[in-house]
Structure 1
Amino acid sequence: MTNKLKLYFKAAQSAKIGIWEINLETNLIYWDSVTRCIHEVSEEFIPTTKNTIDFYSIDKNRDEIELLIERAIVEGTPFNKTFQITTAKNNIKYVEGICQIEFLNKKPIRLLGTFQDITKEQNLINELQQSVEKFSSIFSSANDAIFIIDISNGIITNCNPRASELTEYDNSELVGIHNSELFPVKYRKEVRVFLKSHLTKDNYIVNETYIKTKSGLTIPVEVASGKKFKVGDQTFSVCFFRDISERRNVEENMNMLSLAASETTDTIVIANPKGKAVWANNAYLKLTGFNLQEILGEKAGYLSKGPETDKRTTDKIRKAIQDKQSIKVTILNYNKQKEKYWFELNITPIFDNNNNCINFVGVGRDVTARKEKEFELRGLLEVTSHQNNKLFNFAHIVSHNIRSHASNLSMVVDVIENTENTAEKLSYFELFKEGTEKLSETIEYLNEIITIQKNTNIEKKEIRLKDEIEKTKYALSLSIKESQISIIDTIPEDLTVCVIPAYLDSILLNLFTNAIKYRHPERKAILKIGYEIDESYTIITFKDNGLGIDLEKNGHKIFGMYKTFHGNDDARGIGLFITKNQLEAMDGKIEVESKVGMGSIFKIYLNEK
């Protein structure tokens, strides 16, 4: 190898340029270390005609290198091309391949060439090309009209298709004209000042003006001018023109609406499609106590929420706004001073010609006075209904309880009259005395209820339940004796309940007499009285083994007035009706479980509040 060639190889290696050679007489291929490094093969790799071609993708790359090598061998034609290869380590690289031919007697005998890795440079070129394609796509498909203007003379040098749509001029008509020709004469000075200011500050600025179309139509536009850029010695500016006709129409409509709505006594709030306030009239500001700056940009109604504002109603409003639907609600709001007021609100979405929601209009009024009257009327109705129930219960207590005591006294008198034995007669006088005392006590309770009826609420008293059960058992002792019913209770001596005494007396009498009346004829009657206590109630259970009730057939009317189920001659069908009403008057309730032929369980719930 000559010194000159050695120097060339060293220079090539320093520049990371690989040397390769194909001896056409021996078909041997030579790769230097740089060429091997580019292909990422070891020093032991022996290049051949076949395996060197395998580095080129099976596409036009491989076809092209094969064609160029063939031409070099057959025709002696050199080449300089860029190829994509896949290295031995499966990395994709771009290489620049140069081939020169050595001749002997005008016949190619050797191919000499170089390889240079240009992957980084090619990737940059590819990225630049992609950027150019993206810019070209954005430039062509942008909704805004884009004009590229030569700063030195104001001439339009390029524009996108939207520019033709906006101005009605073809692109060929726009390119080459002065930008001032796009504007009506009276706006040209204004635009010239705008552009001059931009050139001085070199920043992104926006202005509103008008353009004149080819047909003579004047269109309001928003002009935005970005930073300048240079190509060679020329400086250009990119200007964006946006048609704001629709926005101007909306603004004009809003202004007219504002004028019409400002003086109305109804409150009006206008919100954007996301429900954020953009305007409110004086009536709304006066009602809420907020100023316009405080509510702008806030969710309409957000500042009016308070501790008692109904979340379900606010959720409905939020859902209607999300779904772009109308809604009418009445909601408790708070003003800036945290004072409550009732607000009746109608929200209506406003749509453009393309069915896009552009605004919400909320029209409302203060209905506090009306709501207070409604509450007052509702309260009066509840009091009236409650009082009617009390009077109804009172009337039935009079007829039911006194009749029960009178019946017991009548039974005692009947026994005394039909007994000849003086000692036996005297033994019943104690029962007669107890019966008269019980009757007197009932009348005393009824007199107390008459006094209480003048008030809206009947006062409850704490009494010992065990004592009341014993009193009832004693009052019904003759019936208990005759029926031979066993009454077992597990009520503690110290258990107290908060009740209206007359009501409890009536309830106990009714449940005891029912267990006696409707006992089963084929077994000994038993009544078990138990209790349990939960968070809100003391629950007293009355479990008997009597005839039972068909709840599937009669469950819906078991507590109805004058409803009987067993055909007893003395059944009046009023006891359970009275009991239910008495318990409800005390904010309690009654439940029943029963099976025909097996007995019943009555549960009375006494509200301790």
Structure 2
Amino acid sequence: MKTKKLTINELLAEIADHRKEVRNYKDVLHRIKLVAKMGMWEIDVEKKEVIWSDVTREIHEAEHEYNPSIEEGINFFTKGKSRQAITQAFNKAIEQNTDYDLEVQIKTAKGNIKWTRVIGISEFKDGKCIRVYGLFQDIDQNVKYRMELERQKELFRQTFEFAPNGMALISLEGKWVQVNQQVCNMLNYTKEELSKLTFQDITHPEDLDLDLKLLEELLAGKRESYQMEKRYFDKSSNLVWALLSVSMMKDETGKPLYFVSQLTNITEKKNYQKQHLLKTKDCLTSPILYHTIFARILAIFLCFFL
């Protein structure tokens, strides 16, 4: 197949079109970098010259057209772990031809501390490093959000694990996903043993229907939480009474994830109430008590009417 020969004008027009496409691509790339807060940097190792892109300068809050020396660039990183990490990574790159990708803190020209991501790529020629270049990204908000999320998770874990009463995360199907030690002590199961069971497996049959009905109302959005007195069977099949409080954990879209259950052991209270009720019943049915009460009523009647 013959290739069509283009005239000079056609070639110039095609070149112009290609240049326009390149400019468009560059414009798109620039806009992406602005949105991602990502700049470029380059170090000429032989000349010891540093070049920063506009976005990199903005991240450092440096003046327009400012390009630091290698030492000045390093000194933007906060003293301690960050500066030590970037120094070691840079030296290793120029000595051993290795790349790096770090999350480190900088102190900007205006004195603000922010988290950044630094990607470095080394370029060697004839066994010698001639250039190190890469990307510089502002990730301050992302890192702070991640750290806050981790803090909240740890706070939840501490609250969950060391709560004075039993705490449990229950799957929507009823599996014991996570429990604290108080639940294990109450039901005489290990965490591993409970993870193989559902709450339905160890709930007293007479309490199960009401519990399931309330869970359905929770899932349907008819209630935010519920509380009930409920009987469980422990590992030895002994009856354990608990005051059960249940709410629901949802994701950011409102989709149900888990049931959060709080269990307070009220077995002693229930046993006491039962014993007290039996004693009261015995007293009321006692012949001696019957005659004593009858005698008192007769005495009062005689005082008023004689």
TM band (smaller chain): 0.7 to 0.9
SS in 1 for 2:155: helix
Give a deviation string over 1:457-479, Cα, whole Å, max 9, x none: xxxxxxxxxxxxxxxxxxxxxxx
| 1:148 correspondence with 2:169 | yes
How does 1:574-593 map onto structure 2 within 5 Å?
A: none
The offset of 1:74, in angstroms, is 1.3
For 1:31, which of 52, 57, 65 is the aligned residue? Answer: 52
Q: Is the CA contact (8 Å cut-off) linking 1:202 and 1:227 kept in structure 2?
A: no
The offset of 1:258, in angstroms, is 11
The offset of 1:164, in angstroms, is 0.5
How does 1:52-63 map onto structure 2 within 5 Å?
A: 52-63=73-84
| 1:160 correspondence with 2:215 | no
Find the aligned partners of 2:75 and 2:88 in 1 and give their Cα distance: 15
The offset of 1:23, in angstroms, is 0.3
The offset of 1:11, in angstroms, is 4.4
For 1:22, which of 18, 40, 43 is the aligned residue? Answer: 43
The offset of 1:257, in angstroms, is 12
SS in 2 for 1:121: helix
Find the aligned partners of 1:142 and 1:148 in 2 and give their Cα distance: 13
Return the letter of the residue paired with 1:212: F
The offset of 1:27, in angstroms, is 0.6
Q: Is the CA contact (8 Å cut-off) linking 2:54 and 2:65 kept in structure 1?
A: no
* Residue 290 (structure 2) aligns with: none
For 2:211, which of 178, 191, 194 is the aligned residue? Answer: 191
Q: Relative to 1, partners in 2 of residues 1:217 and 1:93: Cα closer, same or farther, differing over 3 Å?
A: same
* Residue 238 (structure 1) aligns with: 260
For 2:190, which of 170, 177, 180 is the aligned residue? Answer: 170
Task: Please give the root-mean-square deviation of Cα atoms over the aligned residues, in Å.
Answer: 3.2
The offset of 1:130, in angstroms, is 0.6
For 1:111, which of 125, 132, 141 is the aligned residue? Answer: 132
* Residue 114 (structure 2) aligns with: 93
SS in 2 for 1:89: coil
* Residue 220 (structure 1) aligns with: 241
Give a deviation string over 1:191-245, Cα, whole Å, max 9, x none: 3334334334352011111122223332221111102535999843222211123
Give a deviation string over 1:499-554, Cα, whole Å, max 9, x none: xxxxxxxxxxxxxxxxxxxxxxxxxxxxxxxxxxxxxxxxxxxxxxxxxxxxxxxx
Find the aligned partners of 1:99 and 1:50 in 2 and give their Cα distance: 16
Find the aligned partners of 1:20 and 1:44 in 2 and give their Cα distance: 13
Q: Relative to 1, partners in 2 of residues 1:20 and 1:187: Cα closer, same or farther, differing over 3 Å?
A: same
Find the aligned partners of 1:212 and 1:44 in 2 and give their Cα distance: 74
SS in 2 for 1:227: strand
Q: Relative to 1, partners in 2 of residues 1:12 and 1:192: Cα closer, same or farther, differing over 3 Å?
A: closer
* Residue 26 (structure 2) aligns with: 7
SS in 2 for 1:116: strand
Give a deviation string over 1:149-173, Cα, whole Å, max 9, x none: 222x322222222210111100000
Return the letter of the residue paired with 1:135: F
Overall identity of the aligned pairs, in %: 25
The offset of 1:80, in angstroms, is 1.8
The offset of 1:117, in angstroms, is 0.8
Find the aligned partners of 1:247 and 1:88 in 2 and give their Cα distance: 67
The offset of 1:107, in angstroms, is 3.4
Find the aligned partners of 2:125 and 2:33 in 1 and give their Cα distance: 28
Give a deviation string over 1:69-103, Cα, whole Å, max 9, x none: 11211122122221111222221101111122333
Find the aligned partners of 1:250 and 1:53 in 2 and give their Cα distance: 72
How does 1:284-433 map onto structure 2 within 5 Å?
A: none
Find the aligned partners of 1:256 and 1:97 in 2 and give their Cα distance: 76
Q: Relative to 1, partners in 2 of residues 1:252 and 1:177: Cα closer, same or farther, differing over 3 Å?
A: closer
Q: Is the CA contact (8 Å cut-off) linking 2:40 and 2:134 kept in structure 1?
A: yes
Find the aligned partners of 2:229 and 2:207 in 1 and give their Cα distance: 10
Structure 1 length as normaliser, TM-score? Answer: 0.38
The offset of 1:39, in angstroms, is 1.4
Q: Is the CA contact (8 Å cut-off) linking 1:61 and 1:83 kept in structure 2?
A: yes
Aligned residue pairs: how many?
Answer: 256
Point out the structure with max Rg over C-alpha. 1
Q: Relative to 1, partners in 2 of residues 1:26 and 1:231: Cα closer, same or farther, differing over 3 Å?
A: same
Q: Is the CA contact (8 Å cut-off) linking 1:229 and 1:237 kept in structure 2?
A: no
Q: Is the CA contact (8 Å cut-off) linking 2:39 and 2:137 kept in structure 1?
A: yes
The offset of 1:68, in angstroms, is 1.0
SS in 2 for 1:96: strand
* Residue 10 (structure 2) aligns with: none
* Residue 69 (structure 2) aligns with: 48
Structure 2 length as normaliser, TM-score? Answer: 0.72
* Residue 81 (structure 1) aligns with: 102
Give a deviation string over 1:259-301, Cα, whole Å, max 9, x none: 9xxxxxxxxxxxxxxxxxxxxxxxxxxxxxxxxxxxxxxxxxx
The offset of 1:32, in angstroms, is 2.5
Which residues of structure 1 form unaligned runs of 5+? 260-609
Find the aligned partners of 1:40 and 1:146 in 2 and give their Cα distance: 48
Q: Is the CA contact (8 Å cut-off) linking 1:150 and 1:234 kept in structure 2?
A: no
| 1:71 correspondence with 2:92 | yes
Find the aligned partners of 1:184 and 1:252 in 2 and give their Cα distance: 18
Higher relative contact order (CA 8 A, sep 6+): 2
Find the aligned partners of 2:83 and 2:129 in 1 and give their Cα distance: 22
Find the aligned partners of 1:116 and 1:254 in 2 and give their Cα distance: 71
Q: Is the CA contact (8 Å cut-off) linking 2:203 and 2:233 kept in structure 1?
A: yes
The offset of 1:19, in angstroms, is 1.8
* Residue 250 (structure 2) aligns with: 229
| 1:181 correspondence with 2:201 | yes
SS in 2 for 1:94: strand
SS in 2 for 1:196: helix
Q: Which moves more between the two structures, 100-109 or 214-223?
A: 100-109
